[in-house]
Amino acid sequence: MEAEAMIDKARIENLFSELEARKSLLATCTELWNNLSQQFSSSEQSLLHKSNDIDSKLEKLESEKKKTLEDLDRRETTISERESSFITLTEEQKQSALLEFEKPTSGTLELSEELRLHCKKMDSEGLLRFMLANRKDSAAVRAEVSEALVEAVDAPRLVLDVVEGFVERRGVKEGISDRRWACATLIQRLVPGFELDGRVPVVASSVGERAGAVAEAWKAKMDGGEGGEAGASEGSMFLQMVVFFGLQAKFDVEFLKKLVLEFSSRREIPKIAAKLGFGEKMGDIIDELVKSGKEVEAVYFAYESGLTERFPPVSLLKSYLKNSRKHGNALLKNKNYSTAATEQANAAELNSLRALVRCLEVHKLESEFSFDSLKRRLTLLEKAKAEKKKSMAATKPQNKRPRGDGGGGAVAFHAAKAGRVPNAYSSFGGRNPPVHQNPPTRYSGRYTYPSSTVYDSPVSASYVAPYGGTHSQNPAVLSQQYGYVSGDAAGGVRAGGSYGAQSSYGAYDYSASAPAQSTYPPYPQ
């Protein structure tokens, strides 16, 4: 009995083990089924959503198709009506133009009216002559020429006629500067006038082909050096013509890139470069600007091309300020802290601060710098520059010969001619400034850069000998007098681009000339 009981117990245990294994298998199958069910349900929902989305798009497309067909039918039914209205308008404009042609054009019309008259007549030669005759009133011409071009029947062709005449006469030096100004003004103001009028200037295919031939001839003359190398104004004008007439495909990308880098300091160049379709090469252009020490220009290019994440503006401007100081320190050290080096370094600092401050204001980055200290330093340098100009004007000798007594007596002796004294301070990077006759005015006070560098005025000391005499001074004494220190501790600046002296970051504005400088305050340590 015991043996039978043991056998039954073993069979029962085996049965329970088999049931447990089947139970585990059943649980696994149940879990798999649940997962598959969820996946099928999710796929079904996704397909349903996509199907509904396709249905809505088809309905929208059908609605737009129906609306478009209705518009086409309506336009087709009104063709005859619109034709008659256009014919009437054309006849009215024709009669108005004929009346305008009959008006006298010499001294009886205002500037804006005469500009419009030449544009209505499509008289490129007359327009050019009138602009050259009013060259001294360039601000008024620039303000009125945009609206005048809108009155032209074919404004792009009118401008192209003037540009073609300039290219043909490029080798003739006489009057070429004024012609270059006229062409640049017309090209720059062509688009803004139409934008104000709510239209877009249409370039006919024949005009576009002719513009391509003119641009290629222009490039050949620039490459061959005929009429001299292209200056900043002409290079900018060439690039604007390429953009407006869509001539990018006619020129090598590297050639256009070279022009952009060469004239990057022009305010309108970043906007032009963004329209030239450089693509990834725009990043290479900004890299080149940074490597050549033009961080301010690089910031403008980064904003125009949308690459501010790759080229952080604040980091670039801080690097610009740091490198400027190193440059100024090297300039002073190499020239043994001479008076000429002092004035050059201060002039470079003024240009540099103008560029930096202007860039910060344009792009609203004042909070990232100690902006107030930069502005105070800039104001001090500009004030010193103005007072220096007054001092030079007051001490400039008058080269006037005394007259005789007019009564038959002895004629007074003629005074000896004094040597000419330059009346303007040469810009940084040009000729050394002259040594002035009287000692400069001293300034005192503390001015700080964002890095808390202190501008301390030294104690007053005379370093210029009386007029006509000679003088010398130990460089160590000059170092103490101007508050300089040797090595990297001396702060310095370098000349900035044309952005610093400009009043706004507009599309086609030219940089305004800066006022002349006066006695410079001590260079920062």
| Angle of helix 295-305 versus helix 281-291 axis, rounded to 10 | 160
Residue 245 and residue 156 in contact, taking contact as beta carbons nearer than 8 Å: yes
Q: What is the pLDDT of residue 308?
A: 92
Closest CA to 256 of 242, 246, 271: 242
In the predicted structure, residue 208 carries a pLDDT above the cut 80: yes
State how far the Cα of 274 lies from the Cα of 272, in Å rounded to an integer: 5
Using one digit for the tens of pLDDT, what is the confidence trace for 419-444? 333 333 333 333 334 434 444 443 33
Q: What is the pLDDT of residue 426?
A: 32
Using one digit for the tens of pLDDT, what is the confidence trace for 385-419? 888 888 888 877 655 554 444 444 433 333 433 33
The token duo for 421 is 């004294």
The phi and psi torsions of 326 (rounded to 5 degrees) equal -60, -40
More confident of the two residues 233 and 416: 233
More confident of the two residues 442 and 70: 70
In the predicted structure, residue 304 carries a pLDDT above the cut 80: yes
Cβ neighbours of residue 82 closer than 8 Å, sequence gap 6 or more: none
Taking the CA atoms of 209, 215, 216 and 217 in sequence, report the sign of the dihedral they define: positive
Closest CA to 310 of 290, 338, 334: 290
Residue 518 and residue 386 in contact, taking contact as beta carbons nearer than 8 Å: yes
Q: What is the pLDDT of residue 287?
A: 93
Using one digit for the tens of pLDDT, what is the confidence trace for 154-190? 899 999 999 999 998 887 777 788 899 999 999 988 8
The token duo for 386 is 């103005």
- List, in sequence order, every residue forming a beta bridge with 448; answer none if it has no partner: 454
The token duo for 418 is 């004094």
Quick one: what percent of the chain has pLDDT higher than 70?
Answer: 70
Cβ neighbours of residue 163 closer than 8 Å, sequence gap 6 or more: 183, 186, 187, 214, 241
Closest CA to 242 of 321, 160, 312: 160
Summary mean pLDDT of the chain: 75
Residue 401 and residue 414 in contact, taking contact as beta carbons nearer than 8 Å: yes
CA angle 175, 178, 181 (to 5 degrees): 150
Q: How confident is the model at residue 463 (pLDDT cuts 50, 70, 90)?
A: very low
Using one digit for the tens of pLDDT, what is the confidence trace for 79-135? 888 888 888 888 887 787 777 666 655 556 788 888 888 888 888 999 999 999 998
Q: What is the DSSP string of 354-413?
A: HHHHHHHHHTT-GGGTTHHHHHHHHHHHHHHHHHHHHHHHHH-----PPPP-SSSSPPPP
Cβ neighbours of residue 181 closer than 8 Å, sequence gap 6 or more: 135, 138, 233
Long-range CB contact pairs, 464-471, < 8 A, 24+: 464/339, 464/435, 464/436, 464/437, 464/438, 464/439, 464/440, 467/437, 467/438
Helix (H, G, I), strand (E, B) or coil at 106: coil
